[in-house]
Structure 1
Amino acid sequence: MSSTTKRSCFIGIHRAPPNLSREMFEAKAGALGDAIVALPVVQKNLLKLEIISQNTLMDKHMDVLGLPEPAPTVVMSFEYESLDNLDEACMLKDPALQKVFEESDDFGFRKHATAFAADVYTKVEAPGITAGVTVITIFACPPQFSADQLGQKFGELMDKAAAQSIRNRFSHYSLWLQNDAVDKHLQALGYPAPKPLIVARTESEHLDHMKEIFEHSEISRLAKEAIQEFSYHRDSDNPAESCCFAADVVTKINNY
């Protein structure tokens, strides 16, 4: 998988509990993000904090591919200089941060989450172009594949997609693969052991560009074949958990 490793990060993928609407869950997650950002230990040790939530801009395209309707999901992405920011500074052991997360249990923020450190492999990066539209794809590992096999297969698929004539419509295209670098920290913070899954992030400057990407014949073919192979199709006999949605990205910290 030819690619470039990006900055160190960990992400939390948080699904809404059954008793909360998407809007209510996103509001609570946003308030939690504000409480995290207000902590000095976070301001000192994070380079970037993003909160990623769903919108409906690309729903019709997801439906055509055969993907199920996405469950209400919020993703938090935390970027840091090195593990020293978590180890020596003990950011994730900070009592104030722990208290904030404990208070989030009233809406199941940790209970229904998967959190892990990620190696981010960037396939396309267009300097100086601001993302107007972002699509997040989250795929759980089906039982017939190991996490490494799934990552390898999706890396190959992304290489094929990035090689198409539509390449200039991407402003960013990356794959986030799990590693265990901060598992002990996150589990000490109250997160369950992470489920094996992968995340892809696609960005374009304009909505029309993103639609062109999804409508491109070869990319559509590759996506449909993968969705069937990995049992992500909504009509599969035993569908693997998947989630794909256009996203609103709110940057809470940017210390670059």
Structure 2
Amino acid sequence: MSATPAKHRHAFIGIYTAPTGVSRNEFNGHMTKLMEGAARLPAVKNLRDLNVIYQTDDLHEHVQQLGLPSPPATALVTHGAETRDDMVKYLRDPSIVQLVHDSDHFGLQAGACAFTADLEVQVDKAAESDKRDATRPHGILIFKVPDHLTDETFHAKINSMIEALLAADVTKKHLIKHSKWIQNDDFTDEIKVWNFPQAERVVVLMLECETIESLQEILGHDHIKQVIGDARDHLGLHIDSNCFAADVVSLI
């Protein structure tokens, strides 16, 4: 199945893990306060969408059954803009930059992996549903690119896994949307003002279903386990992977 670019070409994603000693509830509280503050700033008028993705335990057993590690406490923030200028204005806005800098007290910068991305959508049945994206449960799969592989080789192999997943009957039955976030360096200089560490090489896959039970059925299916298991063994997906169920809050 061919992938199509998302409607907005300029996407920015932040993956934030809680520091040692900070519980997920405490970390989420900090993230909620941060993002509610960001949503009130005039700078967000430059964005097409702004979402916060909060981790849940609804896929904990399924992730373990896939041979993947238990995820660290994590929250994601996704941003989309219609034009490059709009994204640059947002990233460089002094009020946004200051808000990010002020969040260092709860470990935002230290646990950050943030980058601009090419956002590809391989399945999108959203037009057939009355629900907004943010009301549907999400499965988040974050895989690190192994040091011994080039980005091109890794993504070619990941794409083979994705094609096998999307071709499965259980996936066709339940999946509403599938998207892939692929790192690019379009805004490397702009992101530097946020004082984040250099982003690790990762790929982010997002699966959306109408119910958490549907997501569980997909990831618990024997064929899906085999497909992911093969990729895990060949690519080392179990190393530093971060996979979990999530609830999405749309701020704009």
TM-score band, normalised by the shorter chain? over 0.9
> What is the count of residue pairs matched by the alignment?
244
> Once the two structures are superposed, what CA deviation does each residue of 1:182-232 show, in whole Å capped at 9, x if it has no partner?
111111221222111000000111222112211222211001111222223
The reply on whether 1:179 has 2:184 as its aligned counterpart is: yes
Describe how 1:98-109 pairs up with structure 2 within 5 A: 98-109=97-108
Residues 147 and 197, structure 1, Cα contact 8 Å, conserved in 2? no
TM-score normalised over the length of structure 2: 0.92
Aligned residue for 1:158, secondary structure, equals helix
CA distance in 2, matches of 1:13, 1:110: 10
> Which residue is equivalent to 2:156?
152
2:5 corresponds to: 5
Return the alpha-carbon distance in structure 1 between the equivalents of residues 149 and 117 of structure 2. Answer: 19
Aligned-pair CA distance for 1:178: 0.4
Please say if 1:191 is aligned against 2:192: no
Q: 1:128: Cα distance to partner?
A: 3.0
Distance across 1 between alignment mates of 2:187 and 2:83: 11
Percent identity among equivalent residues? 30
User: Which consecutive aligned stretches of 4+ in structure 1 deviate over 4 angstroms post-superposition?
Assistant: none
Q: Find the residue that maps to 1:175 and give its secondary structure.
A: strand
- What SS is found at the alignment partner of 2:242? strand
- 1:141 maps to 145
Residues 9-158 of structure 1: pairs in structure 2 closer than 5 A: 9-42=11-44, 44-87=45-88, 90-126=89-125, 127-129=127-129, 130=131, 132-158=136-162
Shift of 1:81: 0.5
Contact persistence 2:47–2:87 (CA under 8 A): no
Asked if the contact 1:123–1:159 (Cα under 8 Å) also holds between the matched residues in 2, the reply is no
Show CA shifts across 1:93-113 (max 9, x none).
222111111110101101211
Deviation at 1:121, TM superposition (A): 1.4
SS in 2 for 1:114: strand
User: Could you list the runs of 5+ residues in structure 2 that have no partner in the other structure?
Assistant: none
Q: Cα RMSD between the aligned structures?
A: 1.4
Once the two structures are superposed, residues 83-135 of structure 1 have per-residue CA deviations (whole angstroms, 9 ceiling, x without a partner) of: 11033xx3222221111111101011012111111111111111232353210
SS at match of 1:171: strand
Contact 2:19-2:111 within 8 A present in 1 as well: yes
> In 1, Cα distance between the equivalents of 2:114 and 2:232?
24
How far apart are the structure 1 equivalents of 2:117 and 2:199?
12
More helix by share: 2
Counterpart amino acid of residue 73 in structure 1: T
Give the residue type in structure 2 aligned to 1:143.
D
Q: Within 1, Cα distance between the matches of 2:66 and 2:246?
A: 18
Offset of residue 142 of structure 1: 0.9
Residue 232 of structure 1 aligns with an amino acid whose one-letter code is L
